[in-house]
Amino acid sequence: MDNLKVLDLFAGGGGFSTGFLAAKHSNIKFELAGALEIDPDACLTLISHHGEDKVIDGDITDPIIKEEVIKRCSKVDVIIGGPPCQTFSLAGPARSGKKEMREKLREDPRNMLYSHFFDLVGKIKPSFVVFENVEGMASKKAESDISDKQRAVIDLVCEDLKELGYKTELTPTIETGLAAEYQVLNSADYGVPQYRRRIIIIANKIDIPNPIPKKTHGEGCQPHLTVKDAIGGLPVRLPKINPHGMPSLKNMDVIIANYKKSIDLFRKAIEKSIDDDPVYAEFSPWFKKECRRLSKVQENHFQLLKEFFVTYNMRLEEVERNYPPLSSGTNHTSRMHNFRDIIIFILTKPGSNSAKFINEKRKEDYSRLLSDLYPYSRDKHKDTYVKHSWNKPSYTILAHMEKDGLKFIHPEQPRTYTPYEASLLQSFPKDFTFSGGRNAQYRQIGNAVPPMMAKAIGEAILEAIHENKVDVLTNKPYERV
């Protein structure tokens, strides 16, 4: 049996297709027929891994681009993708009837990308469709927490698939004997060192029950992979510190009021990170000496801190030139932070967050100094800072990392995750590279389907084809090998 051809729509940096290409079962596997993406940096990423002939750079709403997709990928067996649907999380009031809600979703012009996804499905007619990431599905929610709005969206997706001739029912579960039309997968259950829940809808035209990927990690399986499993062995990376605008930075007066303590906290955190690391052999003694000198200063703090951070950054650039090489093209460098945030990173306990450390009732997390330093609204943004833990999977990696990264604080080093760390926590291969600048890389990584979860979905489809003895190319039985 020939390889099954895959078309990846809204391909991003290639997480979905990377996972599918890693999947195999018996004598069948997948190959990429094409990947459609509008973001230029993501297209360069895809080209670097799959070749220019497999990547279609363009807008799915453009008739010319759509015709090119149909021309180049007319014989694909599987279409995968998660079209961004802006109104999925705003589907209307819960009191609305499901029929009215579905019609509202279908007719809303902001859901244009959704309609073009199904237009291509209808014209290409692949044997399988995998629809991922219904907007509004929060990572922390369990299946039972899905709202009426989200269920209306699921109903709409399944209804459209059925109208195109697809079977959406899953294999009946042992527990209920019922066949649902969607599944909520947590990436941590499939070898991804990250909690990330997504709604997955699998549909097929070959009239077999749609598969449910077998969990490989979690209860009854291997333990969930942790942050430490994924990035614990990486070389230390120190953050550069923004030396400008400190006097006007909100709550910097709290730092000055606790000046000596802040300098000592900073020194000890950096010392703990770089002690006995030969890469920092020249940097370390200079750093310790300067911090001790600064901690004794009684006045003119802002100017002295600015001068110190300018020199600190220059010294760190010298260190960076001697960083041990990782996989070629990967980006394991820290973004720049301001000194207030650095102190917040240091004081926050691993596994805690700002909603906890500003709450006096959370005795194990609360800190008066942290609460005084917190610069954001306490009504709307309580969980702005989130520090991850070594011994658990990561919290959901999001594209928001391109903006500030404050929800992705390293468990030990006083900084947020590097792009390379984020990609490993998303389960990308260690040598996978992303094109574009740091923010473009964060965006691609955060928007991606974790490859290991995609691999599990792909293998479930292959196993279902194999078990049902169906050749999707002919829709006829084939001899099992």
The closest of 72, 77, 40 to 59, measured between CA atoms, is 40
Neighbouring CB atoms inside 10 A of 402's CB total 20
Write the CA distances from 61 to 37, 38, 42, 117, integer angstroms: 12, 10, 18, 9
Task: Return d(Cα 405, Cα 338) in angstroms, integer.
Answer: 13
Residue 199 in 3-state DSSP? strand
Backbone angles phi, psi at 394, to 5 degrees: -65, 155
Q: Which residues contact 311 (CB under 8 A, 6 or more apart)?
A: 290
Tokens 């947590």 locate to 186
Instruction: Please list the alpha-helical segments (H only) found in 73-210.
Output: 98-107, 112-124, 148-163
Catalytic annotation, pick one of 85, 158, 221, 291: 85
- The SS3 of residue 33 is strand
Phi, psi of 369 (to 5 degrees): -65, -45
Q: How far apart are CA 57 and CA 37, in angstroms?
A: 5
Annotated catalytic, 85? Answer: yes
| Segment (H or E) for 477 | strand 476-477
Tokens of 207: 């009239």
Q: Which residues contact residue 464 at a Cβ distance below 8 angstroms, ignoring those fewer than 6 apart?
A: 171, 208, 209, 210, 211
Catalytically active residues, by annotation = 85
